[in-house]
Structure 1
């Protein structure tokens, strides 16, 4: 898997509804800068596609029930462990703030609602090209209403320490804690501590609220 760039993106699609797969392909390929290299309709099929095809982005439904294998969080966790650098776009019909927070905590790059894919999927792919995260408006609204993120930050990001601001900027650019540590020559523990410290000062409770804060303040 190579990093997304200005060239044509190779995309793997996964959804257990064939008609929805067709719709996803149409939306992704209409601009001419993305190519769907494989499709999967089950967790097993997705695993085989990821082994067989080089890709730059995975776009997957959250839940693809097969027998008893319908745990979307477990599926995403396994994909992230097996393919730590692969950008993942998750789409879902569900509308649960707690679930959204759990999905974002797994390190996905974009989280979208199936109800608004025509407009938001191209925007999510553009964000991934720019090494940024993307959260659909409906997802942000659900998190806001659930109280997972508030606008009453204790301080503004300008008031963070220079090192904390640096970590936030790199997180906003799509870097993981490990990648940031290697880039700025600090230990993962130090970077993690600076991330937690910044979130605490900003009044952010979790990664979902951090992603929203970064987007709303123009840091992504």
Structure 2
């Protein structure tokens, strides 16, 4: 195996699955093109690693456990704010064109699907070295499909009941379901049901999609 003509990139890895971290490390270090200098299993560990270690690239999962919620976009916003010149590669199992657009708007330079990361990560690293953006084949297909068929279009908030809209606005302000229940004097079960009902009406399948919707409506 020939040596790379470039110095090894210093990489920080972040994912909440230890086995996946091991696999990423093996793929990265197999040709001496990259060296993993730190790993993290949650957002707090990741931010601490970024503060402690100077690195050339961050490779991170999108959804990791957090105290309040699994909010990958807000984590990426924090990283972009604090480390604006750091190239970031995101690996995810999600397949939402709106979500991908929001990540790219935060200057994410690589988007990979976990199912194909072993085959595409080396190419993503080469793209990063050139200063290019790398999109996995599955990501490109999702974005082309959304463009061609009009999927992931925003659905008007008028479809929601006043109580559902109230819950959605408070979620957009960063409140948890429990906090909203206390504020509105409702049970957590009621608030959770109103959240689920609102997401169903809006055609949103998970919390990440909900956050994208709120962001594109200027509510977050």
| Alignment check: 8 A CA contact 1:10 1:35 kept | yes
* Runs of 4+, deviation exceeding 3 Å: none
Instruction: Give the equivalent residue in structure 2 for 1:135.
Output: 135
Q: 1:45 to 1:115 in 2, by over 3 A?
A: same
Shift of 1:6: 1.7
CA contact (8 A) 1:127 1:134 kept: yes
Partner of 2:60: 60
What corresponds to 2:212 in structure 1? none
Q: TM-score, normalised by structure 2?
A: 0.64
Instruction: Mark the CA change 1:148 to 1:86 in structure 2 (over 3 Å): closer, same or farther.
Output: farther
CA contact (8 A) 1:60 1:89 kept: yes
SS in 2 for 1:122: helix
**Number of aligned residue pairs:** 146
Structure 2 matches for 1:187-202, cutoff 5 A? none
Q: Which runs of 5+ in 1 are unaligned?
A: 151-220
Say whether residues 1:85 and 2:85 are aligned partners: yes
Deviation at 1:148, TM superposition (A): 6.6
d(CA) in 2 for partners of 1:83 and 1:148?
A: 35
Q: Paired residue for 2:101?
A: 101
Q: 1:31-70 deviations in whole A, cap 9, x for unaligned?
A: 1121000000000000000011110000000110223231
Q: How does 1:132-171 map to 2 (within 5 A)?
A: 132-147=132-147
Q: Cα distance, 1:146 vs. partner?
A: 0.8
Larger Rg over CA atoms: 2
**Aligned 1:2-151 pairs, distance under 5 A:** 6-147=6-147
Distance 1:97 1:117 in 2: 18
Q: Which blocks of at least 5 consecutive residues in structure 2 are unaligned?
A: 151-220
Q: Structure 1 residue 149: deviation in Å?
A: 9.7
Question: Could you say what the CA RMSD is over the residues aligned between the two structures, in angstroms?
Answer: 1.6
